[in-house]
Amino acid sequence: MNYNTTYISKYNNKVFLKEEEEDKLSENEKYFINDSLYRNDILNIFGIEEFDEQVINKCIHTIYEKIKNYDDLKPILEKLASFFLSDDCELGLLLMFSYDYLQYAHPCMCELLETGKISDDKLIKLKNIIDKNI
């Protein structure tokens, strides 16, 4: 598994532009920049040079096997899976890496993979963003 637990997600951080520069961009330009940064984050998080769905899915499956018994995360995974009318928690984990959740899910995964637990503050942030979107 090539999950990079030391990588810090950069998309949606708004650190790449000064406020006055960002004000000059159209919504499409802002989306393009954030989307490009998100894609770059995915590549770095999974340790790949170009998008490969099979490699990413295999890594997510490996992560799922390691974390599937972590009770605090199970309701979150179930809620995400239910969005697709499923009860498959592995699907929920896959959805945690989507654009809307990556910035909250990645720190949780890093902490869980490194220490075996997720701090309450990170877990609450993840739950809140999911509750807001679903």
Query: What are the boundaries of each domain within the chain?
Result: 10-45, 52-133
**Model pTM?**
0.88
Render pLDDT for 71-115 as a digit per residue (tens, 0 to 9).
999 999 999 999 999 999 999 999 999 999 999 999 999 999 999
φ, ψ dihedrals at 103, nearest 5°? -65, -20
What is the spatial distance between Cα 35 and Cα 81, in angstroms, rounded to a whole number?
A: 23
φ, ψ dihedrals at 118, nearest 5°? -125, 130
What is the spatial distance between Cα 108 and Cα 43, in angstroms, rounded to a whole number?
A: 18
pLDDT band with cut points at 50, 70 and 90 for residue 48 = very high
**Identity of the amino acid at 53:** E
